[in-house]
């Protein structure tokens, strides 16, 4: 890989993928939605104008188009059906723009929430909550993009991120919020935490996306995870023992309303086999690095 386009280049995952690619000598066209963003080399483009990238970037020998831009990946907009449906359409338009630029590989950032959403929606008498609208948007995007990609002879790789965390993340997601509770000395209260989970540190996530860009096979899904999925309780205890050995997590006080996915939903065999990827950072080490970063910026 010599050249790559990265949308959502100022986001948590996108920015780290840019850093990884640049460090390895890849020329990166970083696409951001904020024209005031202080990135040294970037193209400003709103998602609803993604087609204009074909005019803004004259190169026609780009190897991979990475698409991370997605409005409402966290917070209340996850529950906004208009935003999430629009995200799916924007993803399809980004894919068609890839064809206009004569780029033949499109790597999209999917989510483990797609699998949870499918199960939650199609299980008889289930009662999925509003946050599953985000997962539905990702599912719709995939359903739209796969036939489009094949009609255009573009290699589409769908990267399913389990749970990315690490230095630089500011969203109130699980690892981040738990570490902040530890720092503040707040009670550590959880569900019974028997549901299966996986986490992967952001540096390894960036490494995985680079590997998919290099070696990913068309029409395949690649799960980006640690390869060691297990009940959430085990992750919590590992984090507590590393960061707050004297704390006493309380399990069962918070009701669990989600979907417990089987361990095979987190299987990373394909990315290991096809893309030669193996994560390097353990969960305990990653949690420690994340805590150190939070303390340095707060």
In a domain, 223, yes or no: yes
pLDDT of residue 41: 58
| Domain extent at residue 202 | 3-165+198-228+266-279
In a domain, 289, yes or no: no
Query: What Å distances lie between residue 286 and 30, 208, 223, CA to CA?
Result: 26, 16, 19
Torsion on CA atoms 231, 141, 222, 116, rounded to nearest 10? 20
- Cβ-proximal residues to 149 (8 Å cutoff; 6+ apart), any chain: 95, 106, 155, 156, 218, 219
CATH number of the domain within which 99 lies:
3.40.50.720
pLDDT of residue 46: 85
In a domain, 177, yes or no: no
- By the 8 A CB rule, do 160 and 212 touch? no
Q: Is 281 helix (H, G, I), strand (E, B) or coil?
A: coil
In a domain, 193, yes or no: no
Instruction: Give, as one character, the DSSP assignment of residue 101.
Output: T
Go through the chain and tell me how many residues it has. 298
- By the 8 A CB rule, do 121 and 258 touch? no
Residue 105 to residue 216: CA distance in whole angstroms: 9
pLDDT of residue 120: 94
Residues 46, 47, 49, 53: is their CA dihedral positive or negative?
positive
Q: Is 57 helix (H, G, I), strand (E, B) or coil?
A: coil
Q: How far, in whole angstroms, is CA 37 from its chain's centroid? A: 21
Instruction: Give, as one character, the DSSP assignment of residue 107.
Output: E
In a domain, 239, yes or no: no
- By the 8 A CB rule, do 197 and 235 touch? yes
- By the 8 A CB rule, do 59 and 4 touch? no
In a domain, 137, yes or no: yes
Number of domains in the chain: 1
What would the two tokens of residue 275 be? 């893309």
In a domain, 131, yes or no: yes
What would the two tokens of residue 226 be? 């640690």
> What order do you get walking across the sheet with 42-44 strand by strand?
42-44, 27-32, 3-7, 64-67, 105-111, 155-161, 220-224
pLDDT of residue 34: 66
- By the 8 A CB rule, do 53 and 97 touch? yes
pLDDT of residue 45: 86
- By the 8 A CB rule, do 42 and 18 touch? no
pLDDT of residue 237: 98
In a domain, 185, yes or no: no
pLDDT of residue 162: 97
Residues 48, 51, 55, 57: is their CA dihedral positive or negative?
positive
H-state helical runs in 152-221 = 174-184, 202-215
Instruction: Give, as one character, the DSSP assignment of residue 255.
Output: -
pLDDT tens over the chain, length 298 residues: 999 999 999 999 999 999 999 999 999 999 997 654 445 456 788 888 999 999 999 999 999 999 999 999 988 999 999 999 999 999 999 999 999 999 999 999 999 999 999 999 999 999 999 999 999 999 999 999 999 999 999 999 999 999 999 999 998 899 999 999 999 999 999 999 999 999 999 999 999 999 999 999 999 999 999 999 999 999 999 999 999 999 999 999 888 888 899 999 999 999 999 999 999 999 999 999 999 999 999 8
């Amino acid at each position: 890989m010599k050249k790559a386009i990265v949308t959502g280049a100022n986001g948590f995952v996108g920015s780290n993928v840019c850093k990884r690619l640049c460090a390895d000598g890849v020329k990166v066209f970083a696409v951001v939605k904020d024209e005031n963003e202080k990135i040294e080399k970037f193209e400003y483009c709103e998602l609803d104008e993604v087609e204009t990238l074909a005019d803004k970037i004259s190169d026609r020998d780009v190897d991979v188009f990475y698409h991370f831009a997605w409005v409402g990946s966290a917070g209340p907009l996850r529950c906004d059906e208009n935003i999430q449906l629009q995200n799916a359409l924007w993803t399809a338009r980004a894919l068609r723009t890839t064809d206009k630029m004569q780029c033949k590989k499109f790597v999209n950032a999917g989510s483990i929430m797609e699998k949870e959403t499918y199960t939650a929606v199609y299980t008889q008498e289930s009662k999925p909550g509003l946050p599953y609208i985000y997962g539905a948007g990702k599912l719709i995007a995939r359903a739209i993009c796969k036939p489009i990609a094949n009609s255009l002879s573009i290699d589409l790789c769908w990267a399913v991120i389990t749970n990315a965390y690490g230095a630089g993340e500011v969203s109130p997601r699980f690892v981040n919020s738990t570490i902040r509770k530890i720092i503040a000395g707040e009670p550590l209260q959880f569900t019974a935490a028997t549901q299966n989970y996986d986490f992967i540190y952001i540096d390894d996530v960036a490494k995985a996306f680079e590997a998919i860009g290099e070696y990913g096979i068309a029409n395949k899904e690649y799960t980006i995870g640690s390869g060691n999925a297990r009940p959430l309780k085990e992750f919590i205890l590992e984090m507590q023992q590393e960061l707050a050995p004297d704390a006493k997590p309380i399990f069962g006080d918070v009701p669990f309303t989600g979907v417990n996915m089987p361990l095979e939903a987190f299987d990373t065999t394909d990315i290991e086999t096809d893309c030669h990827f193996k994560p390097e950072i353990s969960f305990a080490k990653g949690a420690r690095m994340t805590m150190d970063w939070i303390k340095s910026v707060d």
